[in-house]
Amino acid sequence: MSDSAPPTERNRLDEAESPYLRQHADNPVNWQPWDEQALAAAKERDVPIFLSIGYAACHWCHVMEEESFEDEAVAEMLNEHFVPVKVDREERPDLDSVYMSICQQVTGGGGWPLSAWLTPDGKPFYVGTYFPPEEKHGRPGFSQLLDRLANSWSDPEQRSEMENRAQQWTDAIESDLEDVGEPGDPDENIIGTAATIAHRGADRDHGGWGSGGPKFPQTGRIHALLRAHADGEAPSGGGLSGPQGGEGQPGDDYLTVVEQTLNAMADRGLYDHVGGGFHRYSTDMQWAVPHFEKMLYDNAEIPRAFLAGYQAIGNERYASVVRETFEFVQRELQHEEGGFFSTLDAVSRPPGSEPEADTEEGAFYVWTPEQVHDAVADEQAADIFCEYFGVSEKGNFEGATVLGVRKPVDVLAEEYELSEAELTEKLQGALNEAFEAREERPRPARDEKILAGWNGLMISTLAEGAVVLDDAYADVAADALGFVREHLWDESEKRLSRRYKDGDVAIDGYLEDYAFLGRGAFDLYQATGEVEYLAFALELADAIVEAFWDSEEGTLYFTPTGGESLVARPQELTDQSTPSSTGVAASLLLELDHFREGDRLGEVAERVLRSHADRTSANPLQHASLTLATDTYEQGSLELTLVCDPADPPSEWTETLAERYVPRRLLAWRPDDDGAFQSWLETIDLDEAPPIWAGRDAADGEPTVYACRDFACSPPQHDLGAALDWGEN
């Protein structure tokens, strides 16, 4: 096809910046991006749209491409009878939300690639995920399905039925995504309810939740359990001791479930023991074999749960996992100017293969005994490595082994007649050599688009890491925030764009971009006491209310007012791969309301939580972020006004903040110098001090803490630990 042909008669994905779309730029399919040209072509030709949604690190997306989209006969059928459209779900989560909704309603499941056939005006009439080239395992063959749908569309009677179905499905999407319930009061002690359900449903043999597989990280449940435990809540009715259930044991409390889950995620195949960082999810109930892609959002949200677990439980292994994950993120996912890339692929060429060799899932990460012994010079250390991580000739993944802790250090030390310290030293040396050897392997592809919201998640966790582990992480977070502000934030318009890729900025930000980045900015203020981050968080909060708040419906929509009109305007109420943007936004508005007397931030948050109270109360775990926000609304934050020089706080304060798990903690730094304080007020555009700062001066000329909750405050304290004791009683 020549370049002079009409745009929709050629593959246009070479014009896209998305790495996922560019992966399909050489397909014989005349792929279109989702834009006006493509939609207009479908109407002009009066043919359906074939919508294929995926992302760069999606394994089954690659499989379907190789099997079908690179096939000339399939391409001819798609080009002749449909307008084929490719969408990167990471760039367009709004489209993904709309059509995934009907996929889940109709098929009972979802996933990627998401395959949907739409009328020319965007209404779906057939939907699924991966389709094999020939009928297999109950799935129709892709070519046969295309032929059947094209013939049905050409038949007036069948087409009428398809259009009727499309309208019914569109109504179902609207009901699922746009529905707002009658305002009401959330159930009392919703965090206790959530923790009880999470405790009862936990897999007590393998950690986490779910049986059979796959098994996903459920970090919202971990935070709910930790909050309930800190509140003194206890399980009722016994917990599951295995997949079939049973009575809980003495001491079998919420913290036990957290510990079992964190241990499983840290010790088994979900975690990359050689290079740090977490894979996407486990394909089995034992957490042994993961889907190998690495996503920025997982390597933000999972370490955040480990930080909370470290404070609550004190297991140093959790702190090590966080440090190693931060090292991985900085080493492999960070732009030289500070922002963070999106993903690493699951597939790569096998070690030692030729450049033209086919890629294989997990090839970069798995090991054989021979590969270990080639990498590790000390034979005994190589043997220890293999026994510790279970590397065997048989393997557990296509003839190789996904590393996972199989034998405790003390058992191995006894077997090898070494002290535990000696064995640990040998094991660490072997790990270092394995890392160096692995660096020579062909690497998984990296999706180098930088997304505002996902960067916000990483900034939040780095900021929390600065509080709990090492204040140097705040510098890494600040660099990322600076990158996003420079490239994606329009200061004059107060608007946020979603995506940066090689200098190209595109796509208006969604609620998750504003909410996640706002939380990141606010968490960075809490970690550093630098008012500029608080000011930016307030700007983003104002933009959330301006662009996403619907006062008539009492909700926050995922897409901005005046944005592209789809068949439905989605809300994001449930936690999926990332936290619910509505829940995170509500939490952020509640926290920032402390810095704005009489402002509408708190009112908006309250109305959102009341609007969705029925569904949150009915299923608190599915709505984990809304549940956590509701809990904060019910219980109130523990406000800690910290009056000092924020650049040089007392060491006792920083040590106490690092060591103690404090649910609903809100750190409100303010300078003890009157001149500096006045400058702060000007920075956040206030004439008078907000309630959280007003009248809270340094007592006796010394750094002073005020602890407040639910309109009651402690006396001024110089000892932060004493202030926390007051707040927890």
What is the pLDDT, as a whole number, of residue 5? 63
What is the pLDDT, as a whole number, of residue 252? 64
- 576 vs 221: CA distance, rounded Å: 12
Q: Give CA torsion, residues 56, 60, 66, 72, to 10 deg.
A: -100
Per DSSP bridges, beta strands 638-644 and 555-556 are unpaired
Mean pLDDT confidence for 155-184:
94
- 259 vs 313: CA distance, rounded Å: 8
pLDDT band at 710 (very low <50, low <70, confident <90, very high): confident
The crossing angle, in degrees rounded to 10, of helices 511-528 and 473-488 is: 140
The label of the residue with tokens 């301006």 reads: 546
* Of 386, 379, 440, nearest in space to 273 by CA: 386
- Report the 10 Å Cβ neighbour count for 213: 16
Any idea how long the chain is? 729
What is the pLDDT, as a whole number, of residue 212? 80
pLDDT band at 113 (very low <50, low <70, confident <90, very high): very high
| 361-414 per-position pLDDT tens digit | 999 999 999 999 999 999 999 999 999 999 999 999 999 999 999 999 999 999
Q: How far is CA 228 from the centre of its chain?
A: 23
Q: Is the pTM of this model over 0.85?
A: yes
* 3-class secondary structure, 507: strand
Mean pLDDT confidence for 245-251:
39
- Report the 10 Å Cβ neighbour count for 474: 23
Looking at residue 717, the DSSP 8-state letter turns out to be B
- 586 vs 599: CA distance, rounded Å: 14
Q: Which residues face 450 on adjacent strands?
A: 500
The CA-to-CA distance between both ends of the chain, in Å, stands at: 74
Q: Is pLDDT of 250 > 60? A: no
Per DSSP bridges, beta strands 49-54 and 83-88 are parallel
**Cis amide prior to 570 (ω within 30 degrees):** no
Tokens of 241: 């001791």
Mean pLDDT confidence for 632-643:
96
Q: Which residues face 51 on adjacent strands?
A: 85, 116
Q: Which spans in 529-670 are helix H?
A: 531-548, 581-592, 601-611, 613-618, 624-635, 651-659
- Report the 10 Å Cβ neighbour count for 675: 8
Tokens of 11: 């593959």
**Cis amide prior to 303 (ω within 30 degrees):** no
* 3-class secondary structure, 154: helix
Q: Which residues face 182 on adjacent strands?
A: none
| 508-557 per-position pLDDT tens digit | 999 999 999 999 999 999 999 999 999 999 999 999 999 999 999 999 99
Mean pLDDT confidence for 123-141:
93
* 3-class secondary structure, 593: helix
Distances (CA, A) of 511 to 66, 454, 490, 537: 35, 12, 16, 14
**Is residue 201 a contact partner of residue 134, using CB atoms and an 8 Å limit?**
no
| 190-210 per-position pLDDT tens digit | 999 999 999 999 999 999 999
| 465-490 per-position pLDDT tens digit | 999 999 999 999 999 999 999 999 99
How does DSSP assign 340-358, residue by residue?
Answer: B--EE-SEEPPTT--TTSP
SS in 3 state form for 222-266? HHHHHHHHHCCCCCCCCCCCCCCCCCCCCCCCHHHHHHHHHHHHH
* Of 181, 437, 447, nearest in space to 295 by CA: 447
Mean pLDDT confidence for 171-178:
94
* Of 24, 19, 23, 27, nearest in space to 1 by CA: 27
Q: Is pLDDT of 7 > 80? A: no
* 3-class secondary structure, 642: strand
What is the pLDDT, as a whole number, of residue 235? 85
Q: Is pLDDT of 243 > 60? A: no
What is the pLDDT, as a whole number, of residue 333? 98
* 3-class secondary structure, 161: helix
Name every residue whose Cβ is closer than 8 Å to that of residue 27 and which is 6 or more positions away in sequence: 11, 13, 65, 69, 70, 75
What is the pLDDT, as a whole number, of residue 727? 75
Looking at residue 13, the DSSP 8-state letter turns out to be G
Per DSSP bridges, beta strands 495-501 and 450-451 are antiparallel
Mean pLDDT confidence for 117-128:
97
Q: Which residues face 666 on adjacent strands?
A: 639
Cα angle, residue 23 at apex, residues 342 and 94 outer, rounded to 5°: 55
Distances (CA, A) of 128 to 61, 109, 111, 325: 13, 9, 9, 35
The label of the residue with tokens 């008012």 reads: 531
Q: What single letter denotes the amino acid at residue 371?
A: Q
**Is residue 368 a contact partner of residue 391, using CB atoms and an 8 Å limit?**
yes
Sign of CA dihedral 470, 474, 477, 479: negative
Mean pLDDT confidence for 616-630:
97
- 222 vs 257: CA distance, rounded Å: 8
**Is residue 373 a contact partner of residue 517, using CB atoms and an 8 Å limit?**
no
* Of 564, 563, 607, 568, nearest in space to 585 by CA: 607
Tokens of 47: 């043919």
What is the pLDDT, as a whole number, of residue 139? 87
What is the pLDDT, as a whole number, of residue 238? 42
What is the pLDDT, as a whole number, of residue 8? 80
**Is residue 710 a contact partner of residue 636, using CB atoms and an 8 Å limit?**
yes
What is the pLDDT, as a whole number, of residue 1? 44
Looking at residue 494, the DSSP 8-state letter turns out to be T
Tokens of 609: 């939580």
Q: What is the mean pLDDT of the chain?
A: 94
**Is residue 104 a contact partner of residue 172, using CB atoms and an 8 Å limit?**
no
